[in-house]
Amino acid sequence: MRFCSALKPGALAAAALLAQAAALTAQDTDQFQLDLNAVTETEAGDCRLTYVAANQSGTALERASYQIALFDGEGVVSRLLVLEFGALVEGKTKVLQFDLTGTPCGAISRIVVNDAPACTASDGSESPLCMSNLAASSRTPIQFGI
């Protein structure tokens, strides 16, 4: 009996830790994940950006767009442009490519998400989640973030 009663506080502590971990995991999945997945030069010498967008926010989006800033090798903003991502279904991953005419990949050191000019939920309402729940990452030599 003593052995069982000695386990109860430890079991309760373990259960509490598991509950906390589950809550943190649930919070982490309520995100809009945007990954700069690849950069390649086109035949014309332009940079092609490949993004992987995963909408794990719990809200389907009718339209999403992001204004990004491109930084050159010296850290100077060289361009501001808006990338249209279109509709982003909740729980779905979408791959998009954007060609940056007149900009070779080697001329970009960093990309920053500056704003979300459009973030419209499927019910037509504007939503803050495109920026408030955004998690940005890069699998390329170009830094990408918020």
Strand-pairing partners, residue 47, are: 41, 100
Nearest to 93 by CA among 121, 58, 63, 53: 53
Residues 116-126, mean pLDDT to the nearest whole number: 95
Strand-pairing partners, residue 36, are: 51, 138
What is the C-alpha separation between 93 and 27, in angstroms, rounded? 18
Of the listed ranges 1-10, 24-33, 124-133, the least confidently predicted one is 1-10
What is the C-alpha separation between 38 and 15, in angstroms, rounded? 41
Quick one: what percent of the chain has pLDDT higher than 70? 80
Of the listed ranges 13-27, 56-70, 116-130, the least confidently predicted one is 13-27
Strand-pairing partners, residue 93, are: 54
Q: Read off the pTM.
A: 0.78
In the predicted structure, residue 25 carries a pLDDT above the cut 80 = no
What is the C-alpha separation between 37 and 80, in angstroms, rounded? 20
Neighbours of 51 (CB within 10 A): 20
Residue range 132-145, pLDDT digits in tens: 999 999 999 999 99
What is the C-alpha separation between 40 and 46, in angstroms, rounded? 8
Residue range 86-101, pLDDT digits in tens: 999 999 999 999 999 9
